């Protein structure tokens, strides 16, 4: 008995020829009796078999026979899964220079309008800041006062040096006179021409003047050292004040916004009379040396996208290639940004802000079980498949789990092993069968 599965289960019975009995034993009456007994036994057996089969199995066949040339078979392999990603990107210049307000203030004058071509050093707008102007005036006054103090201190030090020299000269003069007196008294004392007391007085006075000279010189050195350190401190203070004043004047120069590079002023968000805070983005200058594509990609691909990954897009009926140039690590709103650069010449006619639809091939570096994509996925949803049994003459239904998919490959999570063969063609004609017979 052969059973075929389809939308309607059909059972085909093969006619069987009764076993012939020997002519000697086959009388007409006994032949009819034996035949009747065989039919009765066969009917009873069939009825008992039907009672043992579940109702669901009585309606659908469990096997189906199909010719090998009508199916497609693929082998489970291990390899790297590559997943194409469709992303949308914006055309931007390769180099963009943003213009921020280094200092806050009120917009007094605008020199150029948005969209104009500018050269490096061209004035774009002028800000005014009265608080900064008052700060400069106060620092200039403070610096002028410090300069006067330093000048007076230097003058006082010069006068002090003159006084010290004069004092030292007087001591030198007294010492010289006393030395002559002491030398003369020494000669007289040898000849007993003067008293011993007068000689000792001259000697004591001479020794006193020598000590006074040494003490005066030491005191002058200490005083000069102190005054010199005081003068150096004043000079350092003045230098710091001058540096602070220069820095404040530089801030005043920053009130004039100039173009740092040559290019096109693509945006300028400022109006005359508007108050601008420090750090406010005022505009940007695009350098049209080339184009790039900036795209936002779902964060689940952040580990797969790598520099130099290839992508392509269609433009005016032609295909162009781009590569990943820069990956921004920050994730915002579930997406991360990627810059693409054109491989070769970019398409003619591109405009800033134009949208391109890219196909990026993301590669997972880890090995996966892979199976060729087939029509069977539409029938089973990737939940089960027919797997060839040993010998390749039959295939059994088996539960599987499919992960990622691309137009060419399926990632197998579980249910299959490397090297097994799977029927990947459509299952529409035998989707209820548990087993296939392949001829």
Q: What is the pLDDT of residue 11?
A: 34
Considering only residues 148 and 47, tell me which one the structure prediction assigns the higher pLDDT.
148
**Are 183 and 228 found together in one domain?**
yes
Exposed/middle/buried for residue 267 (C-beta within 10 Å: 0-12, 13-18, 19+): middle
Assigned domain for 361 exists: no
**Are 378 and 425 found together in one domain?**
yes
**Are 71 and 147 found together in one domain?**
no
**Are 36 and 72 found together in one domain?**
no
In sequence order, the 6+-apart residues with CB closer than 8 A to the CB of 54 are none
User: How far is the C-alpha of 311 from the C-alpha of 318, rounded, in Å?
Assistant: 14
User: How far is the C-alpha of 256 from the C-alpha of 122, rounded, in Å?
Assistant: 10
Q: Is 104 left (phi over 0), alpha (psi -120 to 50) or beta?
A: beta
**Are 12 and 72 found together in one domain?**
no
Assigned domain for 407 exists: yes
User: How far is the C-alpha of 338 from the C-alpha of 143, rounded, in Å?
Assistant: 52
Residue 152 pLDDT class (50, 70, 90 cuts):
confident
**Are 38 and 141 found together in one domain?**
no
**Are 44 and 153 found together in one domain?**
no
Assigned domain for 28 exists: yes
The mean-pLDDT minimum among 50-54, 176-180, 332-336, 386-390 falls in 50-54
Contacts of 54-62 spanning 24+ positions with Cβ under 8 A:
59/9, 60/5, 60/9, 60/432, 60/433, 61/3, 61/4, 61/5, 61/6, 61/9, 61/432, 61/433, 62/3, 62/5, 62/433, 62/434, 62/435
Two tokens, residue 123: 């004035």
Q: Which residues of 237-255 are buried (b: 16+ CB within 10 A; e: fewer)?
A: ebeebeeebeebeebbebb
Q: What is the pLDDT of residue 365?
A: 62
Q: How many Cα atoms sit within 13 Å of 89 on the Cβ side?
A: 31
The answer on pLDDT for 390 being more than 50 is yes
**Are 136 and 220 found together in one domain?**
yes
Assigned domain for 178 exists: yes
pLDDT tens figures, 344-373: 877 887 777 888 888 887 666 678 899 999
Per cent of the chain over pLDDT 70 is 85
User: How far is the C-alpha of 34 from the C-alpha of 82, rounded, in Å?
Assistant: 71
3-state percent breakdown (helix, strand, coil) of the chain, nearest 5: 35, 35, 30
Per cent of the chain over pLDDT 90 is 16
Domain boundary among 230, 253, 276: 253
**Are 197 and 179 found together in one domain?**
yes
Mean pLDDT of 39-48: 43
Assigned domain for 422 exists: yes
Closest C-alpha to 316, from 357, 341, 347: 347
| Averaged pLDDT of the chain | 80
Cα distances (Å, whole numbers) of residue 85 to 11, 80, 300, 310, 316: 50, 16, 11, 11, 21
* 326 touches 89 (CB < 8 A): no
**Are 192 and 245 found together in one domain?**
yes
Domain with residue 392: its CATH number is 2.40.420.20
| Boundaries of domain holding 231 | 130-253
Assigned domain for 279 exists: no
- What SS3 state is found at 366? strand
- What SS3 state is found at 140? helix
* 1 touches 13 (CB < 8 A): yes
**Are 245 and 135 found together in one domain?**
yes
Assigned domain for 326 exists: no
Q: What is the pLDDT of residue 16?
A: 38
Q: Which residues of 188-213 are buried (b: 16+ CB within 10 A; e: fewer)?
A: ebeeeebeeeebeebbebbeebeeee
* 375 touches 386 (CB < 8 A): no
**Are 50 and 73 found together in one domain?**
no
Domain boundary among 229, 253, 277: 253
* Total structural domains within the chain: 3
CA 228 remoteness from chain centre: 56
Domain with residue 174: its CATH number is 1.10.287
Assigned domain for 13 exists: yes
Q: How many Cα atoms sit within 13 Å of 197 on the Cβ side?
A: 0
Q: What is the pLDDT of residue 39?
A: 40
The answer on pLDDT for 3 being more than 90 is no
Residue at token pair 């004058």 = 109
Domain boundary among 253, 275, 297: 253
The answer on pLDDT for 54 being more than 50 is no
């Amino acid at each position: 008995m052969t059973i075929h599965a389809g939308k309607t289960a059909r059972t085909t019975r093969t006619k069987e020829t009764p076993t012939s009995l020997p002519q000697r034993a086959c009388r007409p009456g006994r032949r009819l009796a034996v035949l009747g007994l065989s039919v009765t036994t066969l009917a009873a057996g069939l009825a008992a078999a039907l009672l043992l089969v579940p109702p669901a199995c009585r309606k659908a066949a469990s096997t189906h026979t199909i010719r090998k040339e009508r199916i497609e078979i693929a082998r489970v392999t291990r390899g790297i899964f590559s997943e194409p990603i469709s992303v949308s990107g914006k055309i931007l210049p390769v180099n963009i220079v943003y213009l921020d307000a280094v200092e806050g203030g009120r917009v007094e004058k605008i020199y150029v309008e948005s969209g104009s071509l500018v050269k490096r050093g061209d004035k774009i707008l002028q800000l005014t800041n009265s608080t900064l102007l008052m700060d400069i005036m106060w620092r200039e006054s403070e610096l002028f006062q410090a300069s006067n103090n330093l000048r007076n201190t230097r003058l006082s030090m010069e006068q002090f040096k003159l006084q010290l020299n004069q004092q030292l000269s007087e001591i030198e003069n007294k010492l010289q006179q006393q030395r002559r007196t002491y030398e003369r008294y020494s000669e007289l004392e040898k000849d007993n021409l003067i008293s011993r007391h007068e000689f000792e007085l001259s000697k004591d006075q001479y020794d006193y003047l020598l000590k006074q000279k040494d003490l005066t010189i030491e005191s002058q050195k200490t005083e000069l050292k102190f005054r010199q350190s005081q003068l150096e401190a004043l000079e350092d203070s003045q230098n710091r004040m001058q540096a602070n004043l220069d820095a404040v004047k530089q801030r005043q120069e920053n009130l004039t916004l100039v173009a740092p590079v040559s290019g096109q002023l693509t945006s300028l968000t400022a109006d005359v009379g508007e108050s601008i805070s420090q750090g406010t983005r005022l505009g940007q200058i695009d350098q049209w040396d080339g184009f790039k594509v900036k795209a936002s990609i779902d964060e689940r691909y952040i580990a797969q996208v790598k520099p130099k990954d290839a992508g392509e897009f269609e433009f005016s009926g032609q295909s162009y290639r781009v590569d990943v140039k820069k990956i921004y690590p920050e994730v915002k709103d579930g997406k991360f940004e990627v810059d693409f650069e054109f491989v070769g010449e970019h398409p003619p006619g591109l405009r800033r802000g134009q949208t391109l639809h890219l196909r990026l091939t993301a590669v997972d570096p880890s090995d996966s079980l892979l199976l060729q994509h087939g029509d069977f996925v539409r029938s089973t949803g990737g939940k089960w498949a027919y797997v060839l049994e040993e010998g390749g003459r039959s295939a059994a239904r088996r539960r599987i789990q499919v992960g990622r998919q691309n137009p060419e490959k399926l990632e197998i999570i579980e249910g299959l092993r490397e090297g097994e063969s799977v029927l990947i063609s459509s299952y529409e004609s035998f989707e209820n069968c548990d087993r296939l017979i392949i001829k």
